[in-house]
Amino acid sequence: MTDAIRPLIAGNWKMNGLKAQAAEFDAMLDRAAEVTGKADLLVCPPATLIAAFADKARGKKVAVGAQDCHPKASGAHTGDIAAEMLVDAGASAVIVGHSERRADHCEDDALVRQKTEAAWRAGATAIVCIGETQAQRDAGQTLEILGGQLAGSLPESSTAANLVVAYEPVWAIGTGLTPTTRDVEQIHGFIREFLTSRFKADGASMRILYGGSVKPSNAAELMAVKNVNGALVGGASLKAADFLAIAKGCP
């Protein structure tokens, strides 16, 4: 991990969480002081819980984010949610371009770029996800795919203050599989080189998160890798004990 960059541990609850599960978030708030010396904490629940969680988190050491947004601020888009609405509900960050959105909703890099700009327009940080499939990995296309996603998804006005990049190998999400630390170092190094080349000093200080089956048992090893500046956590973020244990793994 780059010492000058404060780590971020972000939890993506995906399509999980009812009001009855709010006790886990309460536990995160209660115990956040245990890890805030090591990392910033962000929880991205389903949209139905953002306002309630943001109210609970006011004045606490856990931020609340969203999992997606529509590129436009308003209009005839039934079922969609604008970034402005998410920020109005209390979100300070928006995940865009997650592989499940890219695959299940056919989102391409151009749309991810538009959503990134929408998050900024509303005053939120964009967490832009990139990652390769198993077939692409097996074909030796990982860096080619990631480079294309970075080039197509990141607007020219990206800065260390408004953008976080999350690398999530699609084949590792929810499978229990993770790349070797050597692989992670190579890929995060490639991402850092891309960001630095394109965004200069801002690129050198942007957070690059690792995601894909991050859990307490492998967090410390992953967080120690150069250019890993935190984690985007899926299933393990649903439990306060696991989420905070992952944060404790930051150097």
Place of tokens 């965004």: 199
Q: Which of 220, 169, 219 lies closest to 191 in space, CA to CA?
A: 169
| Residues contacting residue 173 through CB under 8 Å, at least 6 positions apart | 99, 100, 131, 211, 212, 213, 234
Alpha-carbon gap, residue 210 to 230, rounded angstroms: 6
Whether 42 and 11 have beta carbons less than 8 Å apart is answered as yes
Structure tokens at 166: 């999350």
Choice among 100, 107, 117, 168 that is catalytic: 168
Q: How far is CA 243 from CA 11, 110, 143, 166, 209, in A?
A: 8, 32, 29, 17, 15
Whether 250 and 210 have beta carbons less than 8 Å apart is answered as no
Catalytic residue status for 70: no
Choice among 24, 70, 84, 98 that is catalytic: 98
| pLDDT value for 1 | 45
pTM of the model: 0.97
Q: Across-strand partners of 9?
A: 41, 231
The two beta strands, 93-96 and 163-167, are unpaired
Q: How far is CA 15 from CA 29, 39, 124, in A?
A: 21, 25, 21
Whether 11 and 44 have beta carbons less than 8 Å apart is answered as yes
Each residue's pLDDT, cut to its tens digit, for the chain (251 residues) gives 445 899 999 999 999 999 998 999 999 999 999 999 999 999 999 999 999 999 999 999 999 999 999 999 999 999 999 999 999 999 999 999 999 999 999 999 999 999 999 999 999 999 999 999 999 999 999 999 999 999 999 999 999 999 999 999 999 988 888 899 999 999 999 999 999 999 999 999 999 999 999 999 999 999 999 999 999 999 999 999 999 999 999 99
CA angle 168, 108, 113 (to 5 degrees): 85
Catalytic residue status for 24: no
Q: Which of 2, 4, 10 lies closest to 214 in space, CA to CA?
A: 10
| Cα dihedral across residues 176, 181, 182, 185: positive or negative | positive
| Dihedral (Cα; 2, 93, 174, 28), 10-degree rounding | 90
| pLDDT value for 176 | 85
Give the start-to-end residue ranges of the domains of the chain.
8-248
Q: How many residues belong to the chain?
A: 251
Q: How far is CA 240 from CA 13, 64, 66, in A?
A: 12, 14, 18
Alpha-carbon gap, residue 103 to 167, rounded angstroms: 16
Q: Which CATH number among 3.80.30.20, 3.40.50.620, 3.20.20.70, 3.40.640.10 corresponds to the domain 8-248?
A: 3.20.20.70
